[in-house]
Structure 1
Amino acid sequence: MNSALAQGALRIGMVAGFSGPVAGVVQESAEGARLYFDSVNAQGGIRGQNIELVTQDDKYDNATAVAQAKSLASQGVLALMLSRGTGPTEAMLPVLKENRLPLIAPATGAISLRDPVQPFVFNLRASYQDEAERAVKHLAGIGVKRITIVQVNDPFGIDAGKGAIKGLDDVKLRALSHLRFDRNKPNLAPTMQGIAKAGIEAVVLIGPGYAVAEGVNALRAAGSTAHVVTLSNNASNDFVKSLGENARGVIVTQLFPYERSTSSPLVREALGLAKATGRSELTPAQLEGFAAAKLVVEALRRTGKDVDRASLVKALEGPRIDVGGLQVGYNDKDHSGLEFTDVSIIGPDGKFWR
C-alpha cells in the first residue's frame, strides 16, 4: 500500500468537522495547511512528489470520526493531521494503533493525548490546561480577583477546567463558583443572570463556540460588564461573528505567535504566501494549519527516499524540527509539542489583538 503510494502523491488525511458546530474554524485550519502545501508543491514537492491533503467530514461526531479515519487509512494516507475536538480525536486512537498511522498536530489540547504518551499522536499546540492556566494568570495580572469558571461538562471542559484551577492556585485565588453546562443544550441565560447579580469581575468560559457565544450574549443581556476569557478553540472569524456587538473585549487564548507579527518567521512566511494568493491577513486557525503543514513537510523531507508511515514516525522522533522559529522535538517517551501560550483580545474591528 505505502510503496504504491510513494510512486504518486504523498497523501495526508484530515478528519474533522467540516460541517456542524466547529465548521468555520476547521475550514480555516485546512486553508492554512493548504497554503503551505501548495507553496511546496509549486517548488516541486518532496523529491518530485506533490503533497495532497485529503479531507473527510466527521461532523464533530465520535463514531463518524472513527469511520472516516478507517476509510482514509485503507486508502493509504501516510498520516492524519489537524483533527479537532477531544472526543473525536480520542475515538480515533484505536484506528491509529491498528494501522500504525501517525496523527500530526491534532487541533486539541487534551491531556489524554499527552499523558501517557500516545505513540502515534504528535502534538504541536500546547495543552488545554496550559492555556487555561495562562488565561487566569492574565486575569490576576490585571488585578481581577472575583473570578468564576463556567465549563462544558465533557472531557474537553473537565480537562481545561483543571488548568484554570491550577492557575488560580498558583496566584493564591479561588474561583467564587465553578459551574457546568451541557454541550447539546447549554441554556446559559439563567447561569449568566446569576453571575451578573453576584458582581463577578471575570468569567472563564470554556466550551464550543456556539455555547460560549450564547453565554457571552446572555451575560451582556443581563447587564454584566465582567471580563470574559475563552480558549483558543474559539479563535476564529466565525466565533467573532457569532458574538455580534458583544465581541469587543472578549479575551481569547492563543497558541501560536500573533498572526500579524512580522517579527515571527512563521507569521512572516505565512503572510507572504497569503498575500501572493490575494489574501491580506490570516486568522489564528489558519496560522495553526500552516504551522502543522510545515511540521508535516519537514518530517516528510527527513524520511529519505522510501517514505511510508514507519519512516515518517521515525523522522518525527528524530532531531528537533523548526516550525518557523518554534522548535518542537519528540521522542518515544514524549510527544507533547510546544508550550507556547498567549492571550489576545477581540478589538472594535473584530480582529484578535495582542
Structure 2
Amino acid sequence: MKNTIRVSAAALALAVPLLTHAAQIVVGQVGPMSGLEAAQGRAYAAGMQLAFGNANAAGVNGHTFTLVRKDDGGRPEDTIAGTKELLEKDKPLVLAGYFGSRNVADLIKAGLLEKDKIALVGYRTGEIRPDVPWVYNVRAGLRDELNKVVEHLATIGITRLGLLYEEGPGAPALLAAADEAAGKAKVAIGTKAAYPAGTASIGPAVDTFLKQKPQAILMVATGAAAAGFIEQYRAGGGTAQLFAHSGADIEQLSKRLSEEQMQGVAIAQVTPSPYKISSRIAKEFADTVAKTKDLEVPVSYAMMEGFITGKVIVEAVRRQGARPTREGIASALEAMDRLDLGGYLVGFRPGVRTGSRFVELSIISGTGKIRQ
C-alpha cells in the first residue's frame, strides 16, 4: 500500500508542471463579419473553429484553442483599431484570417505585428505582395493563380485577354505580374480596367470590355465586384470567357447569379474542394462538418481555407511543447518546410512565407454545378 501511494504521488508531481504550463491559446481574427465580404469572413472563422475543435478534443500538449474575432466590416481603419483592441484586451498568441489588400497592407505598415512580435497566419488579398516577416499565408499567391489561368487560356488557343482589377497601391505590381504571365504564355492582355477599391462599382469597367471585346477576361476582384461585373457584362451582351481569382468566392457568385449567367465561368481555387472527398484533408473536413451541429454558415472554399489555417496554427503550437509563445509561433513556422496536412502541402522557410503552390480551376456547368 505504501509503495502504491509513493508511485501515485510521484506521478502527481510529474503531472503538476504539465498542468501548470497548459495554456488557453487565443487566436485573434479581425475580419469582415459584416459588409460585402461577410460571407467569406464568417466562413473562414468557422473553418478555423472546426480545426480548433478537433485539436481541443484530441489534446495538444494540454493546451486548448479559442478563437476571438472582431468585425472590421471590410474597412482598413477598423482592421487596425480592432487589432489594437484585440492585442490589448484578449492577448492572442497569433492572428489569423484577415481580409483585404488595403487592410493587410495597412496592418503591416502600422508596425503592430513587429512591435508585438505576433504572427499573422492566413489572409486573403487581391494583390501581388512581397513576403515580409511575421506574415504567413497557407495558400498559393496571386502570381501562381495568374500563371495557371493564363497557361490554360493559351493551351485552348485564347490569346486576346482583358484584366479587371481593384484600384490601390498594389495595382502596379499586379499589372506587372499579369503581363509577365501573359508574356510567358505568348498571349496579350490588351484591355485593362479598374474599379474603385472597397466597392463593387464596376459599371465603367463593364463598358470598357463591351467596347474592346477581348476573348477572355481575368477578374482579380472581390466576390461582390465579380458578381456585379458578371451580371452587368452578360446583360450587356458580353460573350468573353470569364475567369476569376480565388477571392471571388464561387458560393457568393452562385447564390447571386442565375445558372445562365454563371455558365462557363471559371474560378481559380487554392484549396482542395470542400464538396468532394479527393484527399485525406478533404475527408477530415467533411467528417468534421458532419459531426458539427449548427454550422454558422454553409460549407465553402473559404471555410476549407480557414480549416487549413487552423491546422497550421495547431501544428505550430504543438511543435513548441509546453510553453508556446508568440515568437515561438514564427520560429515554428519558419522551420515548417514541408507539412503534409493530408494531400495538401504547406511549407515555409526564412524569406518564403507563401506556404502553398496549389491551384486548380473550377468551372461552372450549364446546370450551375461546379466541375473541376
**TM superposition score normalised by structure 1:** 0.90
Larger Rg: 1 or 2? 2
Residue 10 of structure 2: aligned partner: none
Matched position secondary structure for 2:133: coil
Counterpart residue type for residue 331 of structure 1: R
Counterpart residue type for residue 100 of structure 1: K
Q: Are positions 1:208 and 2:222 aligned together?
A: yes
Residue 188 of structure 2: aligned partner: 174
Quick check: 95-104 or 328-337, which moved more? 328-337
Residue 331 of structure 2: aligned partner: 314
Q: Are positions 1:141 and 2:155 aligned together?
A: yes
Deviations 1:104-139 (CA, angstroms, capped at 9, x unpaired): 12223644341xxx2211221111122122222222
Q: Are positions 1:342 and 2:360 aligned together?
A: yes
Aligned partner (choices 119, 129, 134) of residue 112 of structure 1: 129
1-structure distance, mates of 2:128, 2:214: 29
Deviations 1:73-114 (CA, angstroms, capped at 9, x unpaired): 222100001111121112112110110011112223644341
CA deviation after TM superposition for structure 1 residue 226, in Å: 1.4
Change (3 A) 1:343 1:139: same
Q: Are positions 1:328 and 2:342 aligned together?
A: no
2-structure distance, mates of 1:249, 1:65: 36
Change (3 A) 1:185 1:326: closer
Residue 40 of structure 1: aligned partner: 55
Residue 101 of structure 2: aligned partner: 86
Two-structure CA RMSD over aligned residues (Å): 2.3
The unaligned stretches of length 5 or more in structure 2 are: 1-19
2-structure distance, mates of 1:122, 1:187: 31
Do the aligned residues in 1 keep the contact of 2:191 with 2:214 (CA within 8 Å)? no
Matched position secondary structure for 1:180: strand
Do the aligned residues in 1 keep the contact of 2:22 with 2:62 (CA within 8 Å)? no
CA deviation after TM superposition for structure 1 residue 46, in Å: 2.0
When the two structures are aligned, how many residues end up with a matched partner?
Answer: 346
Do the aligned residues in 1 keep the contact of 2:336 with 2:347 (CA within 8 Å)? yes
Do the aligned residues in 1 keep the contact of 2:97 with 2:124 (CA within 8 Å)? yes
Q: Are positions 1:98 and 2:112 aligned together?
A: no
Counterpart residue type for residue 53 of structure 2: D
Residue 290 of structure 2: aligned partner: 275
Counterpart residue type for residue 137 of structure 2: N
The unaligned stretches of length 5 or more in structure 1 are: none
Do the aligned residues in 1 keep the contact of 2:150 with 2:181 (CA within 8 Å)? yes
Counterpart residue type for residue 192 of structure 1: V
CA deviation after TM superposition for structure 1 residue 66, in Å: 0.9
Counterpart residue type for residue 73 of structure 1: L
Do the aligned residues in 2 keep the contact of 1:24 with 1:237 (CA within 8 Å)? no
Matched position secondary structure for 1:131: helix
Matched position secondary structure for 1:37: helix
Change (3 A) 1:54 1:164: same
CA deviation after TM superposition for structure 1 residue 142, in Å: 2.0
Counterpart residue type for residue 296 of structure 1: I
2-structure distance, mates of 1:25, 1:350: 20
Aligned partner (choices 57, 61, 83) of residue 71 of structure 2: 57
Do the aligned residues in 2 keep the contact of 1:32 with 1:285 (CA within 8 Å)? yes
CA deviation after TM superposition for structure 1 residue 260, in Å: 3.4
Matched position secondary structure for 1:10: strand
Counterpart residue type for residue 106 of structure 1: Y
2-structure distance, mates of 1:175, 1:111: 17
Q: Are positions 1:287 and 2:304 aligned together?
A: yes
2-structure distance, mates of 1:47, 1:23: 34
Matched position secondary structure for 2:123: coil
2-structure distance, mates of 1:253, 1:159: 19
2-structure distance, mates of 1:185, 1:298: 37
CA deviation after TM superposition for structure 1 residue 190, in Å: 4.6
2-structure distance, mates of 1:57, 1:232: 22
Quick check: 53-62 or 100-109, which moved more? 100-109
Do the aligned residues in 2 keep the contact of 1:183 with 1:211 (CA within 8 Å)? no
Do the aligned residues in 1 keep the contact of 2:49 with 2:67 (CA within 8 Å)? yes
1-structure distance, mates of 2:68, 2:198: 29
CA deviation after TM superposition for structure 1 residue 284, in Å: 1.1
CA deviation after TM superposition for structure 1 residue 350, in Å: 4.2
Counterpart residue type for residue 346 of structure 1: I
